[in-house]
Amino acid sequence: MVLTTLNETEGVIAELPFREFDSGMVLDILYIIVLAYVLVKVLSFAFRKIGDMAGSHRITATMLIPLLKIVIYASAIYFIIAAVLQPSLSQLVAFSGLFGAALGFGLKDIFADIIGGIVIAFERPYRIGDKISVLGTYGEVQDIGLRATRIVTPDDSLVSIPNYTIFKEATASGNAGKTEMMVVIDLFIDAESDAVAAMDILRDAAVTSKYVYISPGCPFTILLEDFPFYKRIRARAYVNDHRNEFEFHSEVTRRAWIALQREGIRPPRFPAHIPDMSRD
């Protein structure tokens, strides 16, 4: 049975109208590859430029890049096949089946990544420019390629994560395609300190920051939580551009602590000795 199938496959391949392999064909293939590569680079560059000019709509412009890549590379593959084989429709279908089987057996991981990339491009769980967290890696999406998504971490490392891995794991997007992003800023103060005054200071520090963005859809909140030996004051506010996330966090914290210390509000101190509750 297996022998028969192999013989049939060989027959189909033998019937494929391969063109004579000459320098012209090689040049054609090279030309298609270079053209697709240059086209992807130019269009990606153009869309990023348009995004930069668009200000708050930056991510809307860049989200088209992965789709363009898929269309261009799929077209390039088709033209290369057409250049080598000049197949009829039925032969193309037969060849696609064989090609798919080969991929399924030999290159299934890469194929899964490419399918993952296509799903990500259409479903858009995140977009180029988003801040995402996946498998413990946090950073800005720099590129969504056919095989992998590249993320730049806060310490400027470029991390490549295979698309299939992202596709099957939970992914958190901090800004979901928007420029603004919520930032949570925690300050811990001594349990004896005036928490209400501290809340007022942190509120002022957040809303007067040069990085803050406030609107009906992007409100700010100040929360207090009591812990056994300290109090936590939490500010939840939106940064105007998620690229300023860490600057916003740092600026608010720095200014708030200067004001807190001026008001005599101190950071928590370790208790001299923790009472042993087990004796009670």
Which residues of the chain form contacts with other proteins (CB under 8 A)? Answer: 38, 41-42, 45-46, 55-56, 179-180, 201, 204-205, 207-208, 210-211, 213-215, 240-241, 244, 247, 255-256, 259
CA distances from 99 to 92, 93, 103, 117, 193 (A): 10, 10, 6, 19, 70
Nearer to other proteins, 84 or 147 (CB): 147
Q: Which helix (H) or strand (E) segment is 225 a member of? A: strand 221-226
Nearer to other proteins, 186 or 247 (CB): 247
Nearer to other proteins, 128 or 134 (CB): 128
Burial profile 217-229: b = 16 or more Cβ within 10 angstroms, e = fewer:
ebeeebeeeeeee
Q: What minimum distance in Å lies between the beta carbon of 232 and other proteins?
A: 19
Q: What is the C-alpha separation between 62 and 66, in angstroms, rounded?
A: 8
Sign, Cα dihedral of 64, 67, 73, 76: negative
Which residue intervals of 171-230 are DSSP H helices?
Answer: 195-207
Nearer to other proteins, 195 or 256 (CB): 256
Q: What minimum distance in Å lies between the beta carbon of 41 and other proteins?
A: 6
Q: What minimum distance in Å lies between the beta carbon of 42 and other proteins?
A: 5
Q: What minimum distance in Å lies between the beta carbon of 46 and other proteins?
A: 6
Nearer to other proteins, 134 or 181 (CB): 181
Q: What minimum distance in Å lies between the beta carbon of 53 and other proteins?
A: 9
Q: What is the CA radius of gyration of the chain?
A: 28
Number of Cβ within 10 Å of residue 203's Cβ equals 17
Q: What minimum distance in Å lies between the beta carbon of 256 and other proteins?
A: 7
Sign, Cα dihedral of 68, 73, 76, 77: negative
Nearer to other proteins, 29 or 115 (CB): 29
Describe the strand order of the beta sheet including 171-173 as a list of residue ranges: 158-162, 148-152, 137-144, 131-134, 171-173
